[in-house]
């Protein structure tokens, strides 16, 4: 989380290793499956697998970046709302005066 707040791109952070380990392989396998389904020749299938590996990884990167931006936007809106609530409570608290602080208005004590 500290890396994200510092502005480090998510692909350089350690918490994304699972995504980066599987995305290229998944993209290459999907491209090979599609090539086999369409009956492409082997050299074209190899090139397609390389393009699939890079393309799927880029798609995952784009989706992750977009997700992080949306989450950051949601958190910013929530933080602004909580700051308003806190400000209103501080305002109300400054207007309240404890009864013990009222000096000139003491009730008479019966002895």
- Confidence (pLDDT) at 48: 96
Using CA atoms, how far apart are residues 34 and 26, in angstroms rounded to an integer?
A: 12
| 44-90: pLDDT as tens digits | 999 999 999 999 989 988 888 788 777 777 777 777 777 766 666 66
- Confidence (pLDDT) at 64: 80
N-term to C-term CA, the chain: 66
Residue-by-residue DSSP string for 69-84? HHHHHHHHHHHHHHHH
More confident residue, 6 or 107: 6
- Confidence (pLDDT) at 89: 61
Using a cut of 0.75, tell me whether the model's pTM lies above it.
no
Residue 30 CB: number of other CB atoms within 10 A? 16
Q: How far is CA 55 from the centre of its chain?
A: 23
Using CA atoms, how far apart are residues 85 and 9, in angstroms rounded to an integer?
A: 33
| 11-43: pLDDT as tens digits | 666 656 666 778 899 999 999 999 999 999 999
| 87-100: pLDDT as tens digits | 666 666 566 666 66
Q: Any idea which residue has 């499956």 for tokens?
A: 33
């Amino acid at each position: 989380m500290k890396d994200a707040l510092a502005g480090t791109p998510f692909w350089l952070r350690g918490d994304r290793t699972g995504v980066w380990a599987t995305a290229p392989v998944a993209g290459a396998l999907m491209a090979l499956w599609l090539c086999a389904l369409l009956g492409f020749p082997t050299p074209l299938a190899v090139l397609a697998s390389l393009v699939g590996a890079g393309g799927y990884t880029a798609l995952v990167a784009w989706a992750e970046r977009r997700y992080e931006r949306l989450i950051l936007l949601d958190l910013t809106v929530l933080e602004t709302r909580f700051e308003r609530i806190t400000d209103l409570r501080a305002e109300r608290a400054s207007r309240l005066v404890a009864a013990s602080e009222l000096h000139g208005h003491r009730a008479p004590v019966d002895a």
